[in-house]
Amino acid sequence: MNKQLQQLVTTQKLSHAYLMEGTQRTALKDEALQFAAEILGTDDTARSRVYQHNHSDFYWLETDDQTIKKEMIEEVLHRMNRKPVEGQYKVYVIVDFDKVTVQGENSILKFLEEPPPNTIALLLTTKSGGILPTIHSRCQHITVTAQSNSVIRTALMNGGINDGLAATLAALSFGEEEAMQWMEEKEFSELRTAVLKWADTMMADSRMGLVHIVELLQTVSEREQQLLALDMLQLYFQDVMYIKLNNDQLSFPDHKPKLETVGRDMSLARCVQWIDVILLSKRNLLQYVSPMLVFEYIAIQIAKEVK
């Protein structure tokens, strides 16, 4: 566990709220679980029940839904308004706090301003920029350092994933567990292939990029997949930049010949410009702009320059 967090537990100098930030979701969850177990763990049995999410004074909110709604937040707060049952503290964890709706953020903001005694919030995020500044100001910030991309990549290859896929998964800041889940349950390989095909098509004939958006969205039909597709598009142009700068840390090493061809007539400034377009598109998708419109915008912006 993070030495800073261990020291807080040892000295009993605990705050009412921690915003835990990092690049790897799995690492954040592991760190939060260890921290909660240390806070609530009066003995080994109590710590074990925290790890099993079976402790009376511990609540873990994690959802596959695209947003964390106000009703979910209010359920957490209702539970945390009760007195501790087993010890001195209550701890609640909200995973992917950046997914909380504005209404949910407003509900928890009031709670953070006047929390019940001995109640500790662990708010986890890989996208802290999407969280209200007023919530930032009411939390202590903890940065969780994840394993390096090379370590994750090697671990995934040892788990039977080929180098190209492993490099992309590591570049997307997945932890080993989450990466394996994408491979086994969410058709990551097919998604990656569809994104690379669409990007290559736009670079070869920008007009065809518009034509093939429907085909792309048949593969990336869910919002989580669409957001990941945009992340991969950003990595695609980042790889082009890296090749021009003679940096071999590629996210798509198996696609290098095609990326070299793409980069021959593309300036670094143009790469940066298109990465900015993708970042703007991701913000629009997060604000529930139609996926078709989001990907059309990218294709149109690229078509202005690629003939």
Task: Indicate whether 222 pLDDT > 70.
Answer: yes
Task: Indicate whether 307 pLDDT > 70.
Answer: no
Mean pLDDT of 13-23: 91
Helix, coil or strand: residue 55: coil
Indicate the helix (H) or strand (E) that contains 36.
Answer: helix 25-40
C-alpha 69/C-alpha 38 separation (Å) is 29
Task: Indicate whether 148 pLDDT > 80.
Answer: no
Do 39 and 58 form a contact (C-beta atoms < 8 A)?
no
Q: Looking at residue 2, what is its pLDDT?
A: 66
User: In 161-212, which residue ranges form alpha helices assigned H by DSSP?
Assistant: 163-171, 176-185, 188-204, 206-211
How many CA atoms lie less than 13 Å away from 296 in the CB half-sphere? 7
Mean pLDDT of 128-137: 88
Q: Looking at residue 72, what is its pLDDT?
A: 94
SS3 labels along 219-274: HCCCHHHHHHHHHHHHHHHHHHHHHHCCCCCCCCHHHHHHHHHHHCCCCHHHHHHH
Taking only the tens place, the pLDDT of each residue in 256-273 is: 999 999 999 899 999 999
Do 281 and 294 form a contact (C-beta atoms < 8 A)?
yes
pTM, 2 dp = 0.68
Do 121 and 115 form a contact (C-beta atoms < 8 A)?
yes
Q: Looking at residue 144, what is its pLDDT?
A: 87
Q: Shortest CA distance to 97 belongs to which of 109, 105, 86?
A: 105
Task: Indicate whether 69 pLDDT > 70.
Answer: yes
Taking only the tens place, the pLDDT of each residue in 91-109 is: 999 999 999 998 999 999 9
**What percent of the chain is modeled with pLDDT above 90?**
63
Q: pLDDT averaged over the chain?
A: 90
Task: Indicate whether 7 pLDDT > 90.
Answer: no
Under the banding of pLDDT at 50, 70 and 90, the label for residue 1 is low
Task: Indicate whether 6 pLDDT > 90.
Answer: no
Taking only the tens place, the pLDDT of each residue in 173-213 is: 887 888 888 998 889 999 999 999 999 999 988 788 889 99
Mean pLDDT of 56-72: 91
Q: Looking at residue 181, what is its pLDDT?
A: 87
Q: Looking at residue 156, what is its pLDDT?
A: 92
